[in-house]
Amino acid sequence: MNLCFLLGDQLNLSISSLSNIDAEKDVIFMCEVWDEATYVQHHKKKIAFIFSAMRHFADELRAQGYNVHYTKLDDPENAGSFYSELKRADEQYKPKSIIATEASEYRVLEDMKDWSFDAPVDIRPDDRFLCTHYEFAEWAEGRKQLRMEYFYREMRRKYNILMDGDKPEGGEWNYDSENRKPPKDALNIPQTYMSQPDDITREVMDLVADRFPDHFGDLEPFHFAVTREQAVQALDQFIKERLCNFGDYQDAMVEGEPWMYHSHLSFYINCGLLLPLECVQAAEEAYRDGKSPLNAVEGFIRQIIGWREYVRGIYWLKMPEYESENFLDAKRKLPALFWGGDTQMNCMRQCVKETKENAYAHHIQRLMVLGNFALIAGLDPDEVNEWYMIVYADAYQWVELPNVTGMILFADGGVLGSKPYSASGAYINKMSDYCKGCRYKVTKKKGPDACPFNYLYWDFLIRNEDKLRGNHRLGMIYRTLERMSEKKVEAVIEDSRRFFKALENDEKV
């Protein structure tokens, strides 16, 4: 017999480690282990979600006639790590071979490569992704600059998605110019998918409450889908109710509306309950059936076959060095406000609050509020990466690291994106209603009442001038800075120093 090892983000029957399984003889092995649950202090909801989805998947496998060996976290014999648990299973079953699908993260894959058991280990590629490591490396080879847009077009062609012969559907590859409306009108946003916790989820929640009491985040209420059936319902609900507005309000932020018109599917796609291609095909079908407009459907599809595959490609191309990139030499410690510490900056307060409650924030909150702050305040990439790994239920290093190190912090010096996504308060004010409930004034540029994003934005450009001035996409901004009066520049520096001092002293900013 063979032992088929399944990780917590490989919960799909089509996974390569199960491709030629003998249901009668082989044993599928899954384990909840302390090392994995604590190498960073994951959000409580994230642990509950993964453990519940794993337990439900194990039950489904059993119901379909497979032999499953499942170690729960609180099993007295649990040896605590993937390796030590597999070692026990290897000794118990004496399998002919151990079959695994490559781990999605470098850390775990390196560990896998070092595994040594009596049985040989067969590590197979993860064909849930649409672009292999080899294909991405080949595409990247010899290019001066890597840009998502060109990669995305290749993926559209390869999978024949939203194509009209060899031309893009509608004549354009990208309809972003029609997207990104500010949330001016009163929006009537449909409710996101919500499951009710069953006995398995309740048991896991009790376990998490008991064993991880100091981890960040709220455990209750818990509404994530934890089975394939529920995840498919969540996908259907998104396609029917929210996809049509996905494009228009993709960048909009509204106080008290954590979900907006986003899909909230990343948790399920990343752990295997949904496959990326089925999500993309469901969206294309909605367009072909005349149920959703092209700008929304193209925008959604680009996130999945474009951005998702592109960041994964960069991750595997650049690891392990990518983990320690710090192009801007940023050193500031992550302030307490990221952990829910009190702050007067309403945008930051809302985004952290929702992150704590839901283990979710939508893309523009992660990028233009939390990420923008981390960038212009010069926060240490290690600390920022750890925070993003901890707090989101969809976080795995292959997707988290490029988004943080590359997209928000520009710590890779421009590998993933061509310029830093820095912005002043005006952007947040345009795309959200946060500023009207803020103690700071978004229109004020200097002094204690001014919006901190306004002076930190310029201070960031001044502090990093030697590294960023040569970036042609920042040319105009640096020319504006050149024209700024000495008095204005001094005020920017002075306000920023005052703000940083308050941060360092753990004062409420």
Applying CB under 6 A, the residues found at the interface with ligand SF4 are 345-347, 425, 428-429, 434-435, 438, 440, 442, 451-453
Strand partners, 408: none
Closest to 28 measured CA to CA, from 52, 51, 49, 57? 57
Q: Mark residues 397-416: x for contact with ligand FAD by CB under 6 A, - for none.
A: --xx--xx--xx--------
Near ligand DLZ by CB under 6 A, which window of 5-13, 245-253, 417-425, 439-447? 5-13
Q: Which residue's CB is nearer to ligand DLZ, number 222 or number 396? A: 396
Q: Is 441 in the site for ligand FAD (CB under 6 A)?
A: no
For ligand FAD, which residue of 263, 405, 429, 496 counts as binding (CB under 6 A)?
A: 263
Alpha helices in 187-247 (DSSP H): 199-211, 228-241, 243-246
Query: Is residue 226 close enough to count as binding ligand DLZ by CB under 6 A?
Result: no
DSSP per position, 45-85: HHHHHHHHHHHHHHHHHHHTT-EEEEE-TT-TT--SSHHHH
Beta carbon nearer to ligand DLZ, 207 or 243: 207
Task: Kindly state the smallest distance separating residue 477's Cβ from ligand SF4, in Å.
Answer: 18
Single out the residue of 43, 308, 349, 445 in contact with ligand FAD (rule: CB under 6 A). Answer: 308
The binder of 105, among ligand DLZ, ligand SF4, ligand FAD, none, by C-beta within 5 to 8 A per type, is ligand DLZ
Residue with token string 């609900």: 237
Stretch that binds ligand FAD, among 63-71, 100-108, 289-297, 388-396 (CB under 6 A): 388-396
CB under 5 to 8 A by kind: which of ligand FAD, ligand SF4, ligand DLZ, none does 345 bind? ligand SF4
Q: Does 266 bind ligand FAD (CB under 6 A)?
A: yes
Question: Applying CB under 6 A, does 240 fall inside the site for ligand FAD?
Answer: no
Q: What single DSSP character describes residue 193?
A: P
Distance separating alpha carbons of residues 349 and 218, to the nearest angstrom: 16
- Cβ nearer to ligand DLZ, comparing 108 with 260: 108
Of 364, 344, 254, 253, the C-alpha closest to 303 is: 364
Q: In this chain, which of 3, 15, 33, 235 binds ligand DLZ, going by CB under 6 A?
A: 33
Residue pair 437/346 in contact by the 8 Å Cβ criterion: yes
Distance of CA 288 to the CA centre of its chain: 29
Residue 492 — left, alpha, or beta (φ > 0 → left; ψ -120 to 50 → alpha)? Answer: alpha
Binding flag, residue 373, ligand FAD (CB under 6 A): no
Query: Distance between CA 314 and CA 415 in Å, rounded?
Result: 8
**Separation of alpha carbons 373 and 350, rounded Å:** 14
Chain residues that interact with ligand DLZ, rule: CB under 6 A: 7-9, 31-33, 36-37, 42, 47, 50, 103-105, 108, 396
